[in-house]
A and B are shown apart, each in its own frame.
Chain A
Amino acid sequence: MATLRLKQVAKRFDDTDVIRGIDLEVNDREFVVFVGPSGCGKSTLLRIIAGLENATSGDIVIDGERINEVGPADRGLAMVFQSYALYPHMTVEDNMGFSLRLARVPREERRAKVLEAARVLQLEPLLDRKPKALSGGQRQRVAIGRAIVRNPSIFLFDEPLSNLDAALRVQMRIELARLHEELDATMIYVTHDQIEAMTMADKIVVLQGGVVEQVGSPMELYHHPRNRFVAGFIGSPKMNFLPVEARGVTTRGVEVTLPGGGVSEVAVNGAGSRTGEALELGIRPEHLLLDEQGPLAGRIEVIERLGGQTSLYVRMDDGIVTLTADGDVAHAVHDRVRFGFEPGRAHLFDGQGQALESLQRHPLSELGRRDSRADPEAGA
């Protein structure tokens, strides 16, 4: 049982505000991912939770107890560092057992715990090796093993996969998800990679400039981004943004004039919009559809064929739009194409970049990676 609450946590370095008053709740056994561009404060926030950095103000509460003044080792947390931070002069076994040695756990018991963690991570044959003699993936597993041995109430991961090559990263991602199931522990994971966030999280916290932009399940962030930043950050390839003009508001949504003169209706609540207001239309590449009668048009500039799907980069008057099409699409570079979109899948953003609320919630938007536990009411 481990819950974490942050109340108005802020951090100042000299004259820069790195974290500006963050409120957050992490539930027991939840896998929470902090995601954001570099410099958004996500690592600092994790280090504040770990106790390696002091918060300038605000409270950090674990299981109902304020722990701001508690030292890192006494918070009952374990951290996996981006650089792994293994002790180079110790064997794998000593690395994993170091915390127990410091806690004066008897040798036999220590060995038993290390072996147990090594079994979970398939590290048994490597226990006598030094970190230098391990591959990147093995080092990563030792770093995780070191955390497991401590039996922490919360696991903290600071970009643990970013030093691995792409194939290994996918493999470790799956392994971490499996580990979360097996250990049934609360985990907080920092990354700049939105794919890691989407695939592993029960709950994603999107940070920018030291503030939380949005907290929600992966599907919620994907289908109902609260603002332009989250919309652009979550999803790959990035969401397209087109300048549009509000023509009128109806009960079914907002009618907008598209670039090129076409008219379309977007299913969002237009209560605050005025006719003639400049808005931005956001459509994900996978929701743009090639269509002879479509309201949008442009010339294909680049084609990326991935086999199963094809990315088309289409030049319009206002810039380039990315369009994800079928793998077998026959178009060639320089072709003129017309395309459209499903109105229910489009987003509208006002002049401040805030999203206009969708009229319909996406049915999966409450679904966490492990829906039944993350949110019992949502159940599948």
Chain B
Amino acid sequence: MNTSRLQRFGLAVLAWSITCVIFFPILWMFLTGFKTEAQAIADPTLFFTPTLESYVAVQGRADYFRFAWNSVHVSFGSTLLALIIGIPAAYSMAFLPTRRTKGTLLWMLSTKMLPPVGVLVPIYLIFRDLGMLDTRIGLTVIYTLMNLPIVIWMLYTFFKDLPKDILEAGRMDGASTSQEIFFLLIPLTLPGIASTGLLSIILSWNEAFWSLNLTSSRAAPLTAYIASFSSPEGLFWAKLSAASTMAVAPILIFGWLTQKQMVRGLTFGAVK
């Protein structure tokens, strides 16, 4: 394609505008966190004297690190679990498909179309009876189940791109199924597995519905932490912003550090 300079310039402007529109709320949240409550509800301005007042107040009211640790624990734990279940599942679907494989894949995806609130009551009751309410184990399990369809779908597409011959050569060489998976499949699809894991971590980190409904204090992750600043005493914008900034910062930094891996994984197999 022969794009002129003007076209390319126009495209750049458009891309930057969209980026700014998307990024603006985050920037505004970040700035508001450094304002006083009075400044936060005053006429919007970009120029003000920053203060850590809200951060101090927020940390005084709730222990950020406890929530953050819960988030880390639950999102990494559920991702690990989802990969442990998902890799063998996707392996068998990709390399030993049956007549029902396609249907199973679609069915798994269809479970994502059900609004979670539809199954809230039964799951809540099951969790209550099993004593899993407000436990990190409980939340890990629910996140694993929540992400499993996506994890299997992604792994399935990555595995599909691996030439079958390589695994068959391994089988001829005497590899058992688990050796095939550990010595050949996993090392060869590591970029794909990594980006699947990263996506699962991000989805778990950002999940709010189940964490708000199934936890209260002991196992509450950062999403519950943010929510705890929104309602009870009216809206304190500066404190809410400070809390939110602290909640999204780790995953943003994490995403930024791993973006190369993410993009590589998501476009893995697209070329060649």
Contact = CB atoms under 8 A, between A and B. Distances in A.
Given A88-B188, A89-B188, A81 B174 contact: no
A172 B232 CA distance: 80
A85 B173 contact: no
Interface string A55-82: 0000000000000000111100111011
Interface of A: 50, 52, 71-74, 77-79, 81-83, 85-89, 98-99, 102-103, 146, 150
A87 B172 contact: no
A89 B187 contact: yes
B173 A102 contact: yes
Interface in B18-61: none
Interface of B: 163, 165-166, 168-175, 179, 183-184, 187-188
Main secondary structure of the interface of B (DSSP, over half): helix
A357 to B, nearest CB: 42
B201 to A, nearest CB: 25
Contacts of B188: 87-89
Contacts, number: 57
B165 A81 contact: yes
Given A87-B184, A89-B188, A81 B169 contact: yes
Given A73-B175, A81-B165, A98 B170 contact: yes
A99 B170 CA distance: 8
Contacts of B169: 79, 81, 85-87, 146
Contact of B173 (A82, A88, A98): A98
Given A85-B163, A89-B188, A102 B172 contact: no
A78 to B, nearest CB: 6
A16 B108 CA distance: 31
Nearest to A50: B172
Given A89-B187, A89-B188, A102-B179, A150 B173 contact: yes
Given A81-B165, A102-B179, A87 B171 contact: no
A256 B216 CA distance: 99
B174 A78 contact: no
A146 B169 CA distance: 10
Contacts of B183: 98, 102
Given A83-B163, A89-B187, A52 B173 contact: no
A240 B68 CA distance: 81
B174 A103 contact: yes
B214 to A, nearest CB: 41
A87 B185 CA distance: 10
A103 B179 CA distance: 12
Nearest to B162: A88
